[in-house]
Amino acid sequence: MSNNRSGIFIGGLMLGTAIGTLVGLLVAPRTGRETRKLIKKSANAIPELAEDISTSVQIQADRLSSSTLDNWEETVDRLREAIAVGIDATQRESQSFHKQNTVDISSTPDDTDSLTEKLERSKMP
């Protein structure tokens, strides 16, 4: 059913195009010879137009590529800085934790209850 509908649509589209072209040629304010010259000039201009469009697209692609590369490099630099800061903070926290545990462990034997409590608290999240 869908194939039939698309076939009807394409047939109607082609018929409409043919009728539109015929009416346009009949109603045109120029003679056939003038219209053919105009069409020929337009057809001759197409390669130049295509080249101009191609050049413009290439320039825009180069700009986009350069901009993307610059943004990528900035992002990588910021990421490296963030990782370095994170590593430094982790090392400081680890050293602080080790110092705290060393002080707790070297407490006097009289403080065994408080030492046990501190160790249990450090294990809790």
Does 122 have pLDDT greater than 70? no
Does 124 have pLDDT greater than 60? no
* Chain segment 8-19, per-residue pLDDT in tens: 888 888 888 888
Close Cβ partners of 30 (under 8 Å, ≥ 6 residues apart): 38
Using alpha carbons, select from 43, 44, 25 the residue that is nearest to residue 35: 25
Say if residues 107 and 117 touch (Cβ distance below 8 Å). no
Q: Which residue in this structure is represented by tokens 């400081």?
A: 92
Torsion angle of the four alpha carbons 36, 39, 40, 46, in this order, in degrees rounded to the nearest 10: -170
Q: What is the DSSP string of 25-58?
A: HHH-SS-HHHHHHHHHHHHHHHHHHHHHHHHHHH
Angle in degrees, CA 71, 77, 83, rounded to 5: 135
d(CA 43, CA 26): 21
Task: Retrieve residue 110's tokens.
Answer: 């009289």
pLDDT at position 84, please?
92
* Chain segment 50-108, per-residue pLDDT in tens: 888 888 888 888 888 888 888 999 999 999 999 999 999 999 998 888 888 776 555 55
